[in-house]
Amino acid sequence: MTDLLDPKLKQWAQGRQAEFIDAVNLHGGVRAASKALGLSLDMVGRSIRGLKKRAALAGYSPGTDNMNSPIPDGFLVKRRSARFDRDGNAAGGWVISEPDKDLREEAMRAAADAMSAEIPRVDPIERPLTTAVQLCNLITLTDFHLGAMAWRMEGGADWDLRIAERTFLGAFEQMILGAPMARVCVVNIQGDFLHADGLMPVTPTSHHVLDADGRFSKVVAICIKLIRRAVDLALMRHDEVHLVIAEGNHDLASSLWLRHMFKALYENETRLQVNDSELPYYAFQHGKTMLAFHHGHMKKNDQLPGLFAAQFPVMWGLTKRRYCHTGHRHHVEEKEHAGMTVIQHPTLAARDAYAARGGWFAERAAACITYHDEWGQVARNMVCPEMLEAA
């Protein structure tokens, strides 16, 4: 028996990974386990590698706990120290390591791949009878901060999981039912859809403590439910649907696994395309109209036209009307910059304590913008929370 796995790794297992561990230990290796399970060697191997890296990032990596052993996957050596006796002989030592951000991202991708490989696929949805061939509806929801907690005594309105779910469903249905029956729809989940990026309610990079509502598992379940509902509604009313789940500064990792998961979930639905760009810059061409997307956390608005012209030169050259959609700042701004109109979208979410104490105000809204394949923007359909309460 070779290549046995430590059963304690099951604490960090997802999907069928606990079953994979048992199969490897029973059959003596990954190859034999893959054959017994009727799965590909690559899938089982990638899943186990992702599990080991996830466990290492949590601080568990058997066989890497002394001075002479390598550090666990997902970490870099920050400092090595050694202790010597009075005769100059080595008497011990230790290694201080820190997470390797590149390998940590690789581990998250491996986990997303393993998860998406096991998701039951959605059956195709019946297409609408008639649509306007030249039109494209773009529905944008940015900075939704699902899982955030806001109190009306501080920010003027309450916000929690229950309110967020009701607001999303009501707003999306209002926008899509009020839009023309266009051939194409772009569902743009434009960053910071989730308020926190994991079990700890902190921002991923700065680790600022957030006001959060609900366990992360509950937030994830509602998140998947809402995006599925949006995609299904879009498929019912359009011939072709494109899904953008943009990276935000609050959901760096979650936006990644959501893209992988929805691409796998709708694998059998030929009318849906998921934009799985590895960079936080996304683009879609509708005839002579270019639609570009970036959350706004990496570049300022006036920098975006030059970036997209360089990143997508062919699409830029083939189009006459160009629009970049962004968010991040929670308020409206719209301006032409060097051949592209940059539209900064507002949020539907209520102000949390951080925004309220900082004195930041913005009208809460979301928009469905309709584009013509030659003439560009031709219509807008706006919704605000007050409309949903009055309905």
CATH, residue 166: 3.60.21.10
> Does residue 50 sit in the same domain as residue 91?
yes
Collect all residues with Cβ–Cβ distance below 8 Å to 306 and sequence separation of at least 6: 338
Instruction: Write out the DSSP string of 242-292.
Output: EEEEE--SS-HHHHHHHHHHHHHHTTT-TTEEEE--SSS-EEEEETTEEEE
- The number of distinct structural domains making up the chain is 2
> Does residue 213 sit in the same domain as residue 339?
yes
> Does residue 82 sit in the same domain as residue 128?
no
Average pLDDT of span 259-269: 92
> Does residue 216 sit in the same domain as residue 306?
yes
1 falls within a domain: no
Report how many helices (DSSP H) and strands (DSSP E) the chain contains, helices first: 12, 13
pLDDT recorded at residue 116: 61
Per the structure, the complete domain to which residue 212 belongs is given by 123-390
> Does residue 85 sit in the same domain as residue 128?
no
pTM score above 0.85:
no
Average pLDDT of span 360-382: 95
> Does residue 98 sit in the same domain as residue 150?
no
72 falls within a domain: yes
20 falls within a domain: yes
Q: Lowest-pLDDT range, 47-56, 108-117, 362-371?
A: 108-117
> Does residue 88 sit in the same domain as residue 152?
no
Q: At which of 93, 114, 135 does a domain end? A: 114
267 falls within a domain: yes
Q: At which of 68, 92, 114 does a domain end? A: 114
Instruction: State the average pLDDT for the chain.
Output: 87
> Does residue 147 sit in the same domain as residue 294?
yes
Q: Lowest-pLDDT range, 26-30, 67-71, 236-240, 250-254?
A: 67-71
Direct distance between the N- and C-terminal alpha carbons of the chain, in angstroms, rounded to an integer: 66
382 falls within a domain: yes
> Does residue 109 sit in the same domain as residue 250?
no
Please provide the size of the chain in residues. 391
